[in-house]
């Protein structure tokens, strides 16, 4: 059996497609963790680590999710300030939890993850 081409992953998909899949899965995991943490029982990091183990998440997806959760947790106050500036009629604390988690996750990635392409 020959080694995969430089542009092919071992499963037959392209490396780019596998990378996009891992990023998408990482985003989903990070959003889930940020959302669940908003209920106050566990930190987003603890939620994420539990999900990574329970769901047998790929290393690439787990790494991306960790970067996103770290960005949201580290810069949460600044992210919330930006949300407040963009939508002053909708205080962050009054937003639905899923809306708040989605906005925090998106802004955390776009503002604080330099490897995220602008097209995202």
Q: Rounded to whole angstroms, how far apart are CA atoms 7 and 48? A: 31
Instruction: Output the pLDDT for position 47.
Output: 97
For residue 32, give the DSSP letter: H
19 domain residue, yes or no: yes
CA 37 to each of CA 34, 40, 79, 111: distance values in angstroms, whole numbers, following the listed order: 5, 5, 16, 21
**Number of domains observed in the structure of the chain:** 1
**Number of C-beta neighbours around residue 94 at 10 A:** 9
117 domain residue, yes or no: no
pTM of the predicted model as reported, rounded to 2 decimal places:
0.81
Q: What's 37's domain CATH number? A: 1.10.940.10
Question: Which residue range is the domain that position 53 belongs to?
Answer: 15-112
66 domain residue, yes or no: yes
Q: Are 92 and 79 in contact (CB under 8 A)?
A: no
Per residue in 6-34, pLDDT (tens digit) is: 444 445 556 667 778 999 999 999 999 99
């Amino acid at each position: 059996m020959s080694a995969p081409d430089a542009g092919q992953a071992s499963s037959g998909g392209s490396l780019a497609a596998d990378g996009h899949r891992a990023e998408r899965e990482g985003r989903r995991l990070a959003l889930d963790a940020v959302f669940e943490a908003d209920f106050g029982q566990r930190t987003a990091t603890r939620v994420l680590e539990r999900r990574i183990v329970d769901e047998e998440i790929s290393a690439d997806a787990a790494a991306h999710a960790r970067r996103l959760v770290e960005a949201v947790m580290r810069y949460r106050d600044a992210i919330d300030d930006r949300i407040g500036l963009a939508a002053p009629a909708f205080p962050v604390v009054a937003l639905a939890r899923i809306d708040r988690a989605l906005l925090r996750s998106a802004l955390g990635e776009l503002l604080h993850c330099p490897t995220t392409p602008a097209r995202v």
